[in-house]
Amino acid sequence: MQALLNRCWTLLFGYDVFVSYRRNDCATYVDALVNELQHRGLICFVDREETVGGVKLTPALTKALRRSRTLIAVLTPGVLKSDWVKQEVSTFLRKPNRLVPINVGGFLTSELIQDTPFAPLRDISWIDERPDAVSSGQPNPSIITEITKSHRWLRVRTYARTLMSVILFALLIGGWSVGQFFMEEQRQAEVAYQDISDSLGRLTTLMRFIDTVSTDYKPPEIVPGEGQLDLANTRLPGPLVGFDPISPPGDTRPVARIITEGTAGIVSELDRIWRQDLVLIDSELPELVKALVEDTFMNALQEAEDKLMRYQHIEDSSRQPFYLIGNPGVTDKAAFSDFETKAAKLSTKLLSLNSKP
């Protein structure tokens, strides 16, 4: 019942707190911070920061920012490299009374922040945090207390929750509106299932493409060893059919580029899906999608063309093949095996969710 109340509150009134941070610096710390704040009754939106620089905030993040009362910015040195954190802080600088900077290790007193969006935060009351607390993932209890104190809307939200309980009770009596709400949740779930299924389908097509191209050279398998696909000498051996959209008929790109661009498109699709609110559908689903997005083998395939180009500058590169999986090559068999396990888990979960009534 509490989860349903929180969901309804978020839909109607947004979030109490938006947490902005750089994942590589303090993901464990932020998880602990959010858990404590939620335990004290605050509804938090956690920004899963994109690692690619120079990209505008997604529509979902922009909407979450607009619908959040307070921004907590965890200011580690690494945020200077994060375009997303800069944009999030810049958005809330228009309403500084609703911005709570956590100053890690004296970040705000550093000369490095001159001429950056973080410089104006020096004029705002901030909370100091020790670097060792961030690295250990254990927020100082006084910080939790300060944030809770500064959140002036907590009592209003408590009253609103009571009102929401009354409204939900009335809707349950009526029945129809609540039914519509759950129908919409089901519709969103079906859209998410279909999106993930489509992406996994394209991933399967990519792996079949690699297998098929390898078959012309000897064994139809992606393993280290003699006779497997040699990226250094391979272009498409002839007209291939049935690999849309990975490699449409008439494709003249080198195999390494097809693999790189095909994988990048699939990872982008899965990344977009992961950033949706999939936890409302199933608590395990977001982590399974995220695991595939961040998988070592998937990342290696996206770098296949760059690795091949670097390899071709080596003096003896013309005397030995460059394997997709092997040495020299793009990745290894252990990474491929781990990738297969993660993809199978996601497929199994999807099948189980689709089979639910």
DSSP labels, 206-244: HHHHHHHHHHTTS-SS--SSTTS-BTTT----S---S-T
Omega within 30 of 0 (cis) for the link into 245: yes
Stretch 69-98: mean pLDDT: 86
Read off the pLDDT of residues 192-219 as tens digits, 9 standing for 90 and up: 778 888 888 888 888 888 887 776 544 4
Give me the pLDDT at residue 52, please: 45
Q: Where along the chain do its domains lie?
A: 2-171, 185-354
Instruction: Confirm if 222 and 325 have CB atoms less than 8 A apart.
Output: yes
Q: DSSP code of 52?
A: S
pLDDT for position 174: 58
Topology of 2-171 in CATH?
Rossmann fold (3.40.50)
The whole-number pLDDT of residue 132 equals: 93
Q: Which of 105-114, 122-131, 152-161, 275-284 has the lowest mean pLDDT?
A: 152-161
Give 74's strand partners: 102
Give pLDDT tens digits for 139-180: 998 888 888 876 655 445 545 555 666 666 656 655 554 455
pTM here?
Answer: 0.48
Q: How confident is the model at residue 80 (pLDDT cuts 50, 70, 90)?
A: very high
d(CA 287, CA 285): 6
Cα 273 to the center of its chain, rounded Å: 8
The contacts of residue 85 (CB under 8 Å, 6+ apart) are: 20, 21, 22, 47, 49, 73, 79
**Cβ within 8 Å of residue 180, ≥6 positions away:** none
Supply the mean pLDDT for the chain: 79
Mean pLDDT of 69-95: 88
Please give the Cα distance from 239 to 228 (Å, whole number).
20
Q: What is the pLDDT of residue 50?
A: 47
- Has residue 223 got a pLDDT over 60? no
**What's the whole-number mean pLDDT along residues 109-124?**
89
- What are the tens digits of pLDDT across the range 38-47? 888 788 888 7
Note the pLDDT of residue 53.
47
- Which range is least confidently modeled, 49-63, 189-203, 272-286? 49-63
